[in-house]
Amino acid sequence: MGTPEFGVPSLKALHTGGHTIALVVTRPDSPKGRGRKVLPPPVKTQALDLGLDTIQPKSLKTREFEDHIRSLKPDFLIVAAFGHILTQSILSVPRIGTINVHASLLPKYRGPAPINWAIINGENETGVTTMLMDKGLDTGDILLTAKEPITPEDTAATLHDRLAVIGADLLVKTLDAFANDTIRPVAQDHSQATYAPLLSKHDGHIDWNKPAETLEPFIRGMTPWPGAYTFHSNRRLKIFKVKPITKDFKQPPGSVLKSFPDELQIAAANGALSVVEIQGPSGKRLLIKDFLRGYKLAPGTILT
């Protein structure tokens, strides 16, 4: 059970490892991008390439869906970024259990956006956890974990891609441990739990009243989606990459500061940010020197 790109390496690893995949369950095709073209989810595309039976139920709370899953008599259900809450009746179907591949070191960052929030919050380390699912939200017993450092250059996209591969490897190791009877589930310490809520488009709006050292990881954690942005005269400027700088100034947060012609420095509550990559109303992602050739932002301009 999976939907976006995060689940693809796990599906491929199960197939390559010789496990019998009786069925792939993914979400329905949906409109994507500016053209709103209806496209299949990545897990469906991969499943069909592998010749696997695939279904896309609109609801999991139907007798038809549950009967279908039960008829397969699975040893495991495997969940990797599926996007649906499983009912207790579905969780009880597999002979051994339902394993979730979650992109954090549980109990930290339970919820749908653990990769983004680990970067936004300035963590130096995250990882992947395989866990036995229960009726709670990422509250089940931990099976195995794998740690991964977060680099100063990481965005949500680069960290996502590494964790997806790490998660696939950890999933195979988890199943091997079950086969060898060496797995020992460990209950989570719920007092240490933190939550990583779902992000929406408005969450990417940059608050220049925050310190520069806070805004830099915020922008990386919002890249590529939902995207960090600010406004200039009601025109959205999407910011992809910045560098915190030390600079003396008296202008209020959000002010464009005086700098070299090919630089864009913006005041924050504490310190300033030098913009490296940006996207203007034209919709093209550009290095700042290229952007400023066609878009003028005079010192003193206030970004909101």
Q: What is the CA radius of gyration of the chain?
A: 22
pLDDT tens per residue across span 234-274? 999 999 999 999 999 999 999 999 999 999 999 999 999 99
As a CATH number, domain 5-192 is 3.40.50.170
CB of 238 closer than 8 Å to CB of 266:
no
> 114-171, pLDDT tens digit by residue?
999 999 999 999 999 999 999 999 999 999 999 999 999 999 999 999 999 999 999 9
Does the pLDDT of residue 34 top 90, yes or no?
Answer: no
Residue 301 Cα distances to 203, 207, 232, 297, angstroms: 23, 16, 8, 6
What distance, in Å, lies between the first and last C-alpha atoms of the chain?
A: 41
Give residue for tokens 């259900």. Answer: 77
Domain 201-294 has CATH 3.10.25.10: yes
Q: Is the pLDDT of residue 62 over 80?
A: yes
Where along the chain do its domains lie?
5-192, 201-294
Q: How far is Cα 241 from Cα 220, in angstroms, rounded to an integer?
A: 7
Contact 25, 1 (CB under 8 A): yes
Percent of the chain at pLDDT above 90?
A: 96
pLDDT of residue 83: 87
User: Is the pLDDT assigned to residue 282 strictly greater than 90?
Assistant: no
pTM: 0.95
**Beta-sheet pairing, 54-55 with 24-25:** parallel
